[in-house]
Amino acid sequence: MGKADSVFEVIGPIMIGPSSSHTAAAVRIGQISLAVMGEPVVEAIIQLHGSYALTGKGHGTDKAIIAGLLGYDAADERIKKSLAIAKEQGMKVKFQNVDLGEDYHPNTLRLLIAGTSGTHFEITAVSVGGGNISIIEINGLPIYLSGEYHTLITIHNDRPGIVAKASSLIAQSKVNISTMHVSRQRRGGLAAMAVEMDQPLPPSVISELEDQAQIVRIIPPIY
């Protein structure tokens, strides 16, 4: 057996469902998308690309992604009834098979979700095997988020100071950064930052950053 970076690569996650890549990963994508939304999801259009489009329904991907959006984890027995539960709670759900092109991984999902306040997000995510995932786009902005760490996400105007401010506040909080990813639409346009950290940030840091960015989210580790 070759070297494994995580026990999940050997035994996989604790889960309901036949496939870690199509079921457990889909639940995690839903959970993280709910955390990014920051409020209950009332409408979801789920676009399935590649293998997800071809075999997702047979592996329970449809039930799994909605279970995640409802806040359930991969071991929750309610996954099997998640579509019915979502309907009972008034969540509007639609699934679409799409071709996002060859640049996207075969196990890619794109979620177009709306929350109770009318907030909308477009989130693109990939299942990379063993229940592991990567969030690769938020609102069309390239980003990286694994869901394995405490993660700070901001969407802000591209201007000097925000990345430096966030880095300084994280250092002052004695929080260690695992990875940092920054991208932008264009110079002076919208930008996104995802900082994965070994420890959580104190609420005071979030308050300071909310004065600098349009969207600030803290995503806890989701296993």
81: left (phi over 0), alpha (psi -120 to 50) or beta: alpha
Q: What local confidence, expressed as pLDDT, does residue 9 receive?
A: 42
State the total domains in the chain.
2
> How many whole angstroms separate alpha carbon 178 and alpha carbon 130?
21
Residues 120, 157, single domain; the answer is: no
- Output the pTM of the full model: 0.86
Amino acid 223 reads Y
Give the pLDDT band (50/70/90) at residue 21: low
Cα separations (Å) of 200 from 36, 169, 182, 183?
Answer: 16, 12, 20, 23
Residues 113, 15, single domain; the answer is: yes
Q: What local confidence, expressed as pLDDT, does residue 146 receive?
A: 93
Asked whether residue 200 is domain-assigned, the answer is yes
> How many whole angstroms separate alpha carbon 150 and alpha carbon 24?
20
Provide the residue range defining the domain that includes 158: 149-223
Asked whether residue 187 is domain-assigned, the answer is yes
Asked whether residue 68 is domain-assigned, the answer is yes
Asked whether residue 144 is domain-assigned, the answer is no
* Tens-digit pLDDT profile for residues 182-200: 999 889 899 999 999 999 9
Please check whether residue 115 is in contact with residue 105, taking contact to mean a CB–CB distance below 8 angstroms.
no
